[in-house]
Every structure is written in structure tokens, then in C-alpha cells.
């Protein structure tokens, strides 16, 4: 197996973790909003920040994949 295939598999594994992470963020935001609907805008901003930060990790793996492509 060459570096491209290995890095693609690695990116897949990273995406698994990131999916769980963003799912947890969304879940907490939804349950927080359900309990206290009046702070929904604030929660939404915080959710977006967290989701964007986590998403960055998946994108790092994507970029590493592209760097491996020859």
C-alpha cells in the first residue's frame, strides 16, 4: 500500500472521530435549546464555533491527503 491509500484511510478514520465530535456538539446544543429556548441565539453561536474548530481537524487530514497525491 502506498502513501496515498494509507493517508486516505487515515482521513476516513479522522472523519469518524470528527463526525462523533460534531454530533455531540449538535446534540448538546439541541438539548440546551430545548431546556432553555431563550438562550438559543447564544448557544447557536457557540455551537458554530465549536463545530468549525472540530471540522478544521477533518480538513487537516484532507489537506494531508492532497499533499500525498502525486
Binding site for other proteins (CB under 8 A): 4, 45, 48-49, 52-53, 55-56, 59-60, 62-63, 66, 69-70
Distances (CA, A) of 48 to 1, 39, 69: 38, 14, 31
Sequence-distant (6+) residues with CB within 8 A of 61 are: 7, 10, 11, 14, 15
Name the minimum Å distance from CB 3 to other proteins: 12
Residue number with CB closer to other proteins (36 or 45)? 45
Closest residue by Cα to residue 11 from 70, 43, 58, 45:
58
- Residue nearer to other proteins on the CB measure, 32 or 46: 46
Nearest-approach distance from CB 56 to other proteins, in angstroms = 5
Amino acid at each position: 500500500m502506498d502513501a496515498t491509500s494509507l493517508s486516505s484511510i487515515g482521513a476516513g478514520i479522522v472523519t469518524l472521530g470528527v463526525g462523533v465530535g460534531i454530533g455531540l456538539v449538535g446534540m448538546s446544543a439541541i438539548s440546551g435549546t430545548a431546556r432553555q429556548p431563550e438562550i438559543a441565539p447564544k448557544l447557536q453561536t457557540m455551537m458554530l464555533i465549536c463545530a468549525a474548530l472540530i471540522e478544521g481537524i477533518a480538513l487537516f487530514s484532507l489537506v494531508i491527503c492532497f499533499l500525498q497525491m502525486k
